[in-house]
Amino acid sequence: MPIASTRLADFLPYRLSVTTNMVSDLIAGRYRSRFGLKIPEWRVMAVLGDLGSQTQRELVGATRMDKVAVNRACKALEERQLVARSPNVSDGRSHHLELTRAGSEMFELIMPLALDMESRLFSCLTAREAESLKATLGKLDARAAAMLEEPE
């Protein structure tokens, strides 16, 4: 029986992580220089711009970032008056966060740049390859979510 390869280059979770970090670095460089946003701050803004008002717990789930990163991003965005906090009437311990007018305006400026970046990045794939990648990522997301629910 052949020995399984232990080379990191063949370990798909590692490859996914490296590729994700490279893409994030590429995008973050553009957002940081033009808008002064770090990756976690943009992710929070993107979720709020897409889904509307969210609690920090909901942002943790939507971004898959840890609580500390989400908390720091929210504080930085609040200090810049891009995000506003309001009480959560259904849970007195948490708050809802939403984009302010300035945050919404910035989000509307960034989205065309993000979509252009996506188009340029994926231009190396055929339409069929891009659709296959989306479907594959959806399957991996669902499987990882299911595995997170499994007892250790």
* pLDDT of 4: 56
pLDDT band at 152 (very low <50, low <70, confident <90, very high): confident
* pLDDT of 5: 58
Structure token digits, residue 46: 């993107």
With respect to residue 105, please indicate whether it lies within any of the assigned structural domains: yes
pTM: 0.84
Domain holding 92, by residue range, is 8-115+126-149
Candidates 99, 38, 35, 89; CA nearest to 65 is 38
With respect to residue 3, please indicate whether it lies within any of the assigned structural domains: no
Place of tokens 């994030």: 24
With respect to residue 120, please indicate whether it lies within any of the assigned structural domains: no
Whole-angstrom Cα distance, residue 111 to residue 37? 14
Overall number of domains in the chain? 1
Average pLDDT estimate for 83-97: 88
CA of 128: how far to CAs of 31, 120, 124, in Å? 29, 16, 12
Candidates 64, 47, 46, 67; CA nearest to 56 is 67
Above 60 in pLDDT, residue 1? no
Per-residue pLDDT tens digits for 44-87: 999 999 999 999 999 999 999 999 999 999 999 999 999 999 98
With respect to residue 57, please indicate whether it lies within any of the assigned structural domains: yes
With respect to residue 35, please indicate whether it lies within any of the assigned structural domains: yes
Residue 79: which CATH number? 1.10.10.10
